[in-house]
Amino acid sequence: MKRKLVLALAFIVTVAVASFAGNNIINALERTSYTATYSMQVGNMTRSYEVIAPVDALPKSKPIIVVLSGIAAPLTNEVPRDRFVTYADKDMAELVYPVAYHESWNAGGCCGKAAAQNIDDMAFMKALVAQVDPGHKHPIYIVGYSNGGRLAYRLACESPGLFDATAVVKAMPMPGCVVSRPQSIMQIDSLDDTAVPYQPGDPGKESPPATVEVGLLRSTDKCSERSVVSKYPVMTLTTWDGCATGNRVAFAVYDTGGHNFPPPKDNSPGASQVIYSFFTNTAIAPLPS
């Protein structure tokens, strides 16, 4: 009797495990993107990064987008906040999220523990690009938000050409960081951001004000005065594309939102939509669904 009971229980467990495995296989087949975490040695440190990519091979024409998080933001907060995942789900991009040192980046004097301990985040970014896009087979872009935006500016100042274009969300370069080589850059700000002033005289400790920095970028890129202005209910986008060597400068300004990463709102595109449009030089479209 005991032997029969054991065999019966074993059969039930086996069926349950097989059913669970089958469901997992079905779910895996239905997935359109995958997430994987990798590590690499940079100097005497082990650094890591998360990749969110289409299950099928990314077409060569589609970009790899490196996203630098804001201060004190784990990836569990950053990934849903910026809303780029839908582009990976629809085979439109591969996303790379480097993991910050104690949730901070060393942008050259700022910020957090990364700056205090002089972490070599520049070396990390250079090694990362070589790792995720060997042979430069895809367009590769960088997005930086807040503290991550300051590091993105440092890369534009010190390693121009490492990325094919840059988007900075609510951050200014550190003192001494001057973009001196023409390159395609988008700046995103809000009129009511109390950290990054929109124009001279506005509240905010970061310097220069956004309008001044965009003027400097246009001068470096030798952009003409001609621009294309697109107005939305709570956002205005200005793009200059008559710049040196085919580069572009863009300035997206939201009416409200403080120091957040702008989501879609009131029939206005969110930052992720505006950035993807800028990187791919295509019309702004709704988030893929």
Q: Summarize pLDDT for 241-256 with one digit per residue, the tens.
A: 889 889 999 999 999 9
287: exposed, middle or buried (Cβ count in 10 Å: 0-12, 13-18, 19+): middle
Supply the pLDDT for residue 194. Answer: 93
Per DSSP, the three-state class of 230 is: strand
Supply the pLDDT for residue 11. Answer: 31
Supply the pLDDT for residue 30. Answer: 54
Supply the pLDDT for residue 179. Answer: 97
- Which residues of the chain fall below pLDDT 50? 1-29
By C-alpha distance, which of 270, 259, 280, 207 is closest to 234? 270
Domain regions of the chain by residue span: 1-30, 33-280
Arch. (CATH architecture) of 33-280: 3-Layer(aba) Sandwich (3.40)
Supply the pLDDT for residue 244. Answer: 85
* Cα–Cα distance measured from residue 199 to residue 91, given in angstroms and rounded to the nearest whole number: 38
